[in-house]
Amino acid sequence: MKRLRELIDKIKPNFEKGGKFEKLHSTFDAFETFLFVPNRVTRSGSHIRDCLDLKRVMIVVVVALLPALLFGMYNTGLQHFRAMGVADASVWTCFWFGFLKVLPIIIVSYVVGLGIEFISAQIRGHEVNEGFLVSGMLIPMVMPVDIPLWMVAVATAFAVIIGKEVFGGTGMNVFNPALLARAFVFFGYTPYISGEKVWVAGLSNGTGVVDGFSGATPLTDAASAVLTKADQVQWTHGAPIDWFLGTIPGCIGETSTLAILIGAVILLWTGIASWRIMLSVFAGGYLTGLLFNLIGANAYMDIPAYYHLIIGGFAFGAVFMATDPVTASQTNTGKFIYGFLIGFLAVMIRVLNPGYPEGMMLAILFMNAVAPLIDYYVVQANIRRRNRRLKLAK
Amino acid sequence: MSKQEKEPLFSAKNMKLLTAPFGQNNPITVQILGICSALAVTAKLKPAFVMALSVIVVTGFSSMIISLIRKGIPNRIRIIVQLVVVAALVILVDQVLKAFVYDVSKQLSVFVGLIITNCIIMGRIEAFALGNKPWPAFLDGVGNGMGYGMILIILGFFRELLGSGTLWGYPVLEKIGLYNIGYVNNGLMILPPMALICVGLIIWFQRSRNKNLIEK
């Protein structure tokens, strides 16, 4: 550790003003502050000093993502070997297979995203922002495992440039970059991220697949029950307990509600994510599910309300996407409204429009756009209430 | 009124009326007018081109006609007079399109009729034609129509190339064998939201090259 510090101190003058690599100052600064807590503090204005800076926050979120990611790797292998009819694949075989499948996607996402971040920071002379540490991990986790790598690259570039850099970089973005990347793939390359073939590795090219194996996710099952006007949803994969544990086809990181909840505990325990948003998203989804139970016009509306919380990306979105501090509402009352409407809209889109089986992505992106408006009205209401109180006191 | 000196037809001042809308004063990227049709008709290059041509004709002649009768129009009912002129021209264009390029006319559907409501036309009539002579007004109208058309054609080019892999209906990407190496068309390019983003990118590109356009 000490040697590293000495090395950095030795090469540091090269990157200062007038040094040999003056132009690469942002890049150097990014690596230095990544490795060591910076020794500078804000000099003007009032401020709170805390060792928890943006980089540490981002690292905690990445740690919270790890259970879901590791389980996702294992599940990728598990689903693949199930589809190929290999019954005796061990946990490690499954994990290793999934690791090799998922790792390239993560690398592509980070290389492209961080590349653009570094270049744009360099052009503007800003410090490199670390917001992408989390986005770069979220993007692979919301993609199907068989997606071509160049699509991941294009989607990441789109999300970082259009979703973030044009608004001024980390902390200025209106939409969640990771979801923007997914939305880009969803609307741009629809066949690669919807249907029954894409969720299990090796299923789309179809060689060696066991007869009768279907890669349908619970969401696809439910949506097709609506389209075929069936009396009951035919679940292809297991029972609710399997959906909760996550041994079902789906996007890489979203299948296991259990692993996501472990991440949620880490986020809440460290105080990084807002419990208000998480709670209200789940409440919104559950209550909307109950509402549909009352209507009960088709098979999808009749499924138990709690199913909605454990199938598809609902839990993942609620814990990791909706709580993004930049794009969510900032006021406490606003957070409840924001979260509740995400849950409500997600279930509404799922049930009422089978063409978009995953409503969570669209619900969060939509509420991202509305969040500033919610805050505006919450603040205005507060001002009015205080004015009234003032008048009474006079 | 004293007799003014006769100005040559393409004097520097008149040429500026014609060329300013291409850069400094582009109706779409600087004045942000006429966005709706720019998003709606540019999924393919051919309808974009036909639309551009139609708008050039309508803006040019409507500006000229209004300028010719500008002294006779009572101020209080000028909008309705302008609308009658523009509507008449639009119907003419619509009939010509239906007669000669029926398939494109079908694709453009209501957007030909909606040229009437295109903000660029009314904007130029109100801002320029009502106070200037017919010839400069005509040039101004044509210039703005061309500035609008230029953006339409740029949008149409990229959206058709990336969204459908064709240009003017010719399968360019298939011929150069891009699909064989795993390339896939981007369906998002055909949807209007992406057109809006593309307009944004053009505005970004233009403003980063011409710093005068950036608002304080």
Chain A residues inside the 8 Å CB shell of B200: 166
Q: Which residues contact A245 (CB under 8 A, 6 or more apart)?
A: A256, A257, A258
Q: How far apart are CA A127 and CA B193, in angstroms?
A: 32
Inter-chain CB proximity B204 and A166 less than 8 Å: yes
Inter-chain CB proximity B187 and A188 less than 8 Å: yes
Q: How far apart are CA A275 and CA A323, in angstroms?
A: 8
How sure is the predictor about A279, in pLDDT bands with cuts at 50, 70 and 90?
very high
| pLDDT winner (highest mean) among A78-87, A120-129, A277-286, B30-39 | A277-286
- Chain B, nearest residue to A155 by Cα: B186
Nearest CA distance, A378 vs chain B (angstrom): 30
Inter-chain CB proximity B189 and A188 less than 8 Å: yes
The predicted structure's pLDDT at residue B6 = 64
Q: Which residues contact B154 (CB under 8 A, 6 or more apart)?
A: B202
pLDDT at A31 over 80: no
Report the C-alpha dihedral over residues B58, B59, B65, B66, rounded to 10 degrees: 130
Nearest CA distance, A98 vs chain B (angstrom): 23
What is the separation of C-alpha B139 from the centre of its chain, rounded to a whole number of angstroms? 14
The C-alpha angle A342, B39, B137, rounded to 5 degrees, equals 140
The predicted structure's pLDDT at residue B1 = 40
Chain A, chain B: beta-carbon pairs less than 8 Å apart: 21
The predicted structure's pLDDT at residue A165 = 84
Chain B residues inside the 8 Å CB shell of A189: 184, 186-187
Inter-chain CB proximity A184 and B189 less than 8 Å: no
pTM to 2 decimal places: 0.85
Residues B54, B85: contact at Cβ < 8 Å? no
**Closest partner CB to B197 (pick from A148, A151, A162):** A162
**How many angstroms separate the Cα of A115 from the Cα of each of A136, A163, A173, A355, B20?**
11, 15, 18, 35, 38
Q: Which residues of B make CB contacts under 8 Å with A?
A: 182, 184, 186-189, 191, 197, 200, 204
Residues B73, B65: contact at Cβ < 8 Å? no
What percent of chain A has pLDDT above 90? 36
Chain B residues inside the 8 Å CB shell of A120: none
For residue A259, what are its two tokens? 């692993």
Inter-chain CB proximity B182 and A162 less than 8 Å: no
What percent of chain A has pLDDT above 70? 90
Please state the φ and ψ torsions of residue B167, each to the nearest 5 degrees. -135, 120
Q: Look at the block and give the residue holding tokens 């928890």.
A: A52
**Closest partner CB to B191 (pick from A151, A187, A189):** A187
Q: Give SS3 for B43.
A: coil
How sure is the predictor about A260, in pLDDT bands with cuts at 50, 70 and 90?
very high
Q: How far apart are CA A246 and CA A95, in angstroms?
A: 14
The predicted structure's pLDDT at residue A221 = 81
pLDDT at B178 over 80: no
With b for 16 or more beta-carbon neighbours within 10 A and e for fewer, the A80-116 pattern comes to bbbbbeeeebeeeebbebbeebbeebbebbbebbbeb
Inter-chain CB proximity A187 and B189 less than 8 Å: no
pLDDT at A369 over 70: yes
The predicted structure's pLDDT at residue A223 = 81
What percent of chain B has pLDDT above 90? 16
The DSSP string of A288-352 is HHHHHHHH--SHHHHS-TTHHHHSTTHHHIIIIITT-TTTS--SHHHHHHHHHHHHHHHHHHHHH
pLDDT tens, residue by residue, B109-155? 788 888 888 888 888 888 888 888 888 899 888 998 998 899 999 99
Inter-chain CB proximity A151 and B184 less than 8 Å: yes
How sure is the predictor about B2, in pLDDT bands with cuts at 50, 70 and 90?
very low
Inter-chain CB proximity B187 and A189 less than 8 Å: yes
Inter-chain CB proximity A150 and B200 less than 8 Å: no
pLDDT at A118 over 90: no
The DSSP string of B142-202 is HHHHHHHHHHHHHHHHHHHHHHTS-BTTB-HHHHTT-GGGT----GGGGSHHHHHHHHHHH
Nearest CA distance, A185 vs chain B (angstrom): 8
The predicted structure's pLDDT at residue A172 = 83
Locate the domains of chain A by residue range.
54-192, 218-382
pLDDT tens, residue by residue, A192-213? 888 777 888 777 766 667 777 7
